[in-house]
Amino acid sequence: MSMLVRKLVALLCILCSVSAWGADVIRVGTQNVDLIFRVGENKRLKQVYLGRKLLNDQDLQYLTEGQEAYLTHGMEDYFEPAIQVEHNDHNSSLELKYISHEKKALQNGVDEIIVTLQDDKYPVTVKLHYVTYFDTDIIKAYTEISHKEKKPLLLHRYASSMLHLDKKKYFLTEFSGDWATEVHESTQELQFGKKVLDTKLGTRSNMFTPPFFQLSLNNVAEENAGEVLMGTLGWTGNFRFTFEVDNLKKLRVISGINPYFSTYSLPAKEVFRTPDFFFTYSFSGKGQASRNFHDWARQYQLKDGMGNRMTLLNNWEATYFDFDEEMLVSLMGDAVKLGVDMFLLDDGWFANKYPRHSDTQGLGDWTETRDKLPNGITRLVDEAAKKNIIFGIWIEPEMVNPKSELYEKHKDWVIHLPNRDEYYFRNQLVLDLSNPEVQDFVFGVVDGLMTKYPGIAYFKWDCNSPITNIYSPYLKENQTHLYVDYVRGLYNVLDRIKAKYPNLPMMLCSGGSGRADYKALSYFTEFWPSDNTDPIERLFIQWGYSQFFPAKTLCAHVTTWNKKASIKFRTEVAMMGKLGFDIKLSDLTLDELTYCNAAIKNYNRLKPTVLDGNMYRLVSPYEGNHTSTMFVSKDKSNAVLFAFDIYPRYAEKLHNVLLEGLDSEKLYMVNEINLVPGQNSPFKSQVYSGDYLMKVGLNVFTGKHLNSRVIEIIRKD
Ligand code: DGJ
């Protein structure tokens, strides 16, 4: 569909929504998806449809069967409710009746539908919000809850969204794991009852599972076939997805903040706004659903979504805590020799009374360690400027080591149980961000550094501990607000940083795995998917995160993890994300350095395609011993294919890889790049049609262990 036709269809949809099919039908529609509600005779709101776009408005009148859109506790349904409150008289029932709905155009192609519901026995109002991103088929749902009771209303559950599906079968793909084994994909059929995906970790909240899922409908969806609903919650704290198959084999999906230890006492006049739940629905497999998310994220959600990303050299694995000023200056020289854009100074540069020589102390004391950096950050910023590279710095501002001046001075700022021994995760505790003074302090870490050293041009924001010893000295009697208010406090800080430093790129890090959600990514330009940089593991980990996040968000560093894999293999895995290095150049041979220099140059040329193009996952690493992914520029003029042989079996049959996303009527020149000195390739500037490449494909795999290829494909105009 051309842009003009799309816009006309969008306009027609807006016009239709206010007239053609009657006031009791509420349509939340994108280019290919419809979510439809209807007001029942009893004024209760029913979801009557979710699926492929319905083309004829007159048919909508026949959608009469439905289920309570936002199920309440205490009424006649026997399954998990979306909302559960407790009124001032301790009655906990809620019956929500339709009052009104409105549709607003937020920007070109983005509309918001707001449905207002109220209880006629208690003054409680619930507003269901749906924001539709027409072109990308993404729908954002959130809920606002308010009331006019005298005393606070207790909110025991408060989902962002509830969706109903009625299909033959449901297959849930989850992405669970642990530190260094993140986002392992596994699929199970849902049977009667509940499956819950949740976290109670508070801060490093996604360590065991991130806030996203895929739901295949009728059959297990493939990359290019099948119906799949993909959802994710924009919340950097405890979340819960509940999938419940009821007695009629219908599925209910409830998404939101995890209600665990989170009863919220809401005063009258305040509005409780839930986090955003984002979802897309694809009728042609997971690949399309991922591309919907990638396009939407770049356009609407991700910080500097359409902007460039920098290559870098990080010193973490090269030095750990053991460095001094001269060593850092010499590493900056390495960054220049490599040809990357930035040098990133990691953990270990701060604290004096308890210098940060290991992870046991110093966290919280954000001044340079004099012994290590006698001339402070100034010298480093100056050296970077002299060498014409960008300087970035690591911080972990939400945390404190008990062995620190901050802890000695401000124990009242630390989440800890007043009457029990402290329990530490990585020798540290979490600061109480529900407290505005602590928010000021955390903001001050970034602001203080930026004010003193305006040359700092990048932050890596780490977060290595979940909330342990859950008790807030600040919240006193409202302890069950802590998980929620912590995250809100964090967002306050990040809002202030974004307002004051709108163009400051920041990496969201959390020892890997801990934080990757679309609310956080409105403040951060990229995230650190895993501390595990073994390229084989990364093939799986990046495959997992790529389901939801575009390549430009996935930091991928070349390190010394798994030296059995060549520097070429390690670099080529990292080139499928935001490329960085975390190695000592002295560990590389001259040939390896020559290879890296050329690979970085190639990456810089390919960046627009990898970071902003369409991604096609061609062969899954879960299928066997090979994997391949390709990226195609939006205008189909350039593409790059990455192919990896992991551990092929002896005499294994190799299949051609069918390319995707090209123009079948155009010719393309196919050329292998990133060759190591002296290497030959069978792909030397041959010309094929897009048709051939997509129907016959290329024989890019080999029987060699840990072999990799990068193939550049350029349209001949
Ligand atoms: C965990 C991060 O994932 C690492 O990259 C590094 O920054 C360390 N923290 C530093 O303590």
pLDDT score for 14:
44
Give CA–CA dist 381/457, Å, rounded.
9
The confidence band for 385, taking pLDDT boundaries of 50, 70 and 90, is very high
647 & 597 share domain: no
Q: Give 669's contacts (C-beta < 8 A, 6+ positions apart).
A: 685, 686, 687, 713, 714, 715, 716
Query: Does residue 489 register a pLDDT over 70?
Result: yes
Q: What is the mean pLDDT of the chain?
A: 96
pLDDT score for 15:
42
Q: What is the mean pLDDT of residues 689-702?
A: 98
In a domain, 488, yes or no: yes
Give CA–CA dist 629/571, Å, rounded.
15
Q: What is the mean pLDDT of residues 351-358?
A: 98
Give CA–CA dist 321/347, Å, rounded.
7
Total tally of structural domains belonging to the chain: 3
pLDDT score for 252:
98
Q: What is the mean pLDDT of residues 273-293?
A: 98
In a domain, 307, yes or no: no
pLDDT score for 269:
87
* 3-class secondary structure, 396: coil
Distance 513 CA to ligand 1 centre (A): 11
Q: What is the mean pLDDT of residues 312-336?
A: 97
Last residue of a domain, one of 612, 627, 642: 612
- Please report where in the chains the tokens 């805590």 appear, as a residue: 321
294 & 317 share domain: no
The confidence band for 439, taking pLDDT boundaries of 50, 70 and 90, is very high
The confidence band for 364, taking pLDDT boundaries of 50, 70 and 90, is very high
Q: What is the mean pLDDT of residues 535-550?
A: 98
- Portion of the chain with pLDDT greater than 70, in percent: 97
443 & 581 share domain: yes
Give CA–CA dist 577/536, Å, rounded.
14
pLDDT score for 418:
94
pLDDT score for 336:
98
Q: What is the mean pLDDT of residues 180-196?
A: 97
Closest CA to 290 of 208, 384, 244, 223: 223
pLDDT score for 512:
78
Query: Does residue 12 register a pLDDT over 70?
Result: no
Other beta carbons less than 10 A from residue 306's beta carbon: 10
R_g of the chain, CA atoms, integer Å:
26
606 & 709 share domain: no
In a domain, 417, yes or no: yes
Q: Is 316 in the pocket of ligand 1 (CB under 6 A)?
A: yes
Q: pLDDT tens across 152-178, in order?
A: 999 999 999 999 999 999 999 999 999
608 & 619 share domain: no
Q: What is the mean pLDDT of residues 168-189?
A: 97
695: domain CATH number? 2.60.40.1180
| Amino acid of residue 174 | E
Distance 533 CA to ligand 1 centre (A): 12
152 & 125 share domain: yes
Give the helix ranges, DSSP H, for 102-141: none
Last residue of a domain, one of 612, 643, 675: 612
In a domain, 482, yes or no: yes
Which structural domain, as residue segments, surrounds residue 368?
Answer: 312-612
650 & 530 share domain: no
Distance 713 CA to ligand 1 centre (A): 36
Residues in the chain: 717
DSSP code for 431? B
Distance 462 CA to ligand 1 centre (A): 7
Give CA–CA dist 405/599, Å, rounded.
45
pLDDT score for 23:
72
148: domain CATH number? 2.70.98.60
Q: Is 528 in the pocket of ligand 1 (CB under 6 A)?
A: yes
Q: Is 461 in the pocket of ligand 1 (CB under 6 A)?
A: no
- Please report where in the chains the tokens 């050293």 appear, as a residue: 453
Q: Is 396 in the pocket of ligand 1 (CB under 6 A)?
A: no
598 & 639 share domain: no
Q: What is the mean pLDDT of residues 510-525?
A: 92
> Residue 196's beta-bridge partner residues?
242
Q: What is the mean pLDDT of residues 426-432?
A: 98
Q: Give 144: exposed, middle or buried? Use CB within 10 Å, 0-12, 13-18, 19+.
A: middle
Ligand 1 closest atom vs CA 394: 7
Last residue of a domain, one of 301, 320, 352: 301
| Angle (nearest 5°) at CA 614 between 599 and 5 | 150
In a domain, 306, yes or no: no
pLDDT score for 319:
96
CA dihedral 330, 576, 300, 344 (to 10 degrees): -10
Other beta carbons less than 10 A from residue 94's beta carbon: 25
Distance 322 CA to ligand 1 centre (A): 14
Q: What is the mean pLDDT of residues 638-656?
A: 97
Q: Tell me the C-alpha to C-alpha distance, in Å, between residue 366 and each of 196, 211, 252, 354, 548.
A: 40, 31, 48, 11, 35
Contact 489, 433 (CB under 8 A): yes
Q: Is 392 in the pocket of ligand 1 (CB under 6 A)?
A: no
Ligand 1 closest atom vs CA 531: 3
Query: Does residue 505 register a pLDDT over 50?
Result: yes
pLDDT score for 64:
86
Q: pLDDT tens across 203-239, in order?
A: 999 999 999 999 999 999 999 999 999 999 999 999 9
Give CA–CA dist 311/209, Å, rounded.
28
Structure tokens at 147: 């009331």
Q: Is 571 in the pocket of ligand 1 (CB under 6 A)?
A: no
Ligand 1 closest atom vs CA 511: 3
Distance 575 CA to ligand 1 centre (A): 21
In a domain, 31, yes or no: yes
674 & 582 share domain: no
Query: Does residue 8 register a pLDDT over 90?
Result: no
Q: What is the mean pLDDT of residues 640-659?
A: 97
Query: Does residue 18 register a pLDDT over 70?
Result: no
Query: Does residue 514 register a pLDDT over 80?
Result: no
- Please report where in the chains the tokens 């041959």 appear, as a residue: 686
Query: Does residue 11 register a pLDDT over 50?
Result: no
Q: pLDDT tens across 242-272, in order?
A: 999 999 999 999 999 999 999 999 999 899 9
335: domain CATH number? 3.20.20.70
Q: What is the mean pLDDT of residues 127-156?
A: 98
In a domain, 369, yes or no: yes
pLDDT score for 21:
56
Query: Does residue 348 register a pLDDT over 90?
Result: yes
Q: What is the mean pLDDT of residues 614-643?
A: 98
342 & 375 share domain: yes
In a domain, 260, yes or no: yes
Other beta carbons less than 10 A from residue 587's beta carbon: 11
Whose C-alpha lies nearest to ligand 1, atom 3? 511
DSSP code for 10? H
70 & 147 share domain: yes
Q: Is 394 in the pocket of ligand 1 (CB under 6 A)?
A: yes
281 & 347 share domain: no
Q: Tell me the C-alpha to C-alpha distance, in Å, between residue 185 and each of 132, 380, 538.
A: 28, 42, 13
Q: What is the largest CA-CA distance in the chain?
A: 81
Other beta carbons less than 10 A from residue 412's beta carbon: 13
Give CA–CA dist 369/73, Å, rounded.
56
Q: pLDDT tens across 42-97, in order?
A: 999 999 999 999 999 999 999 988 999 999 999 999 999 999 999 999 999 999 99
Query: Does residue 454 register a pLDDT over 70?
Result: yes
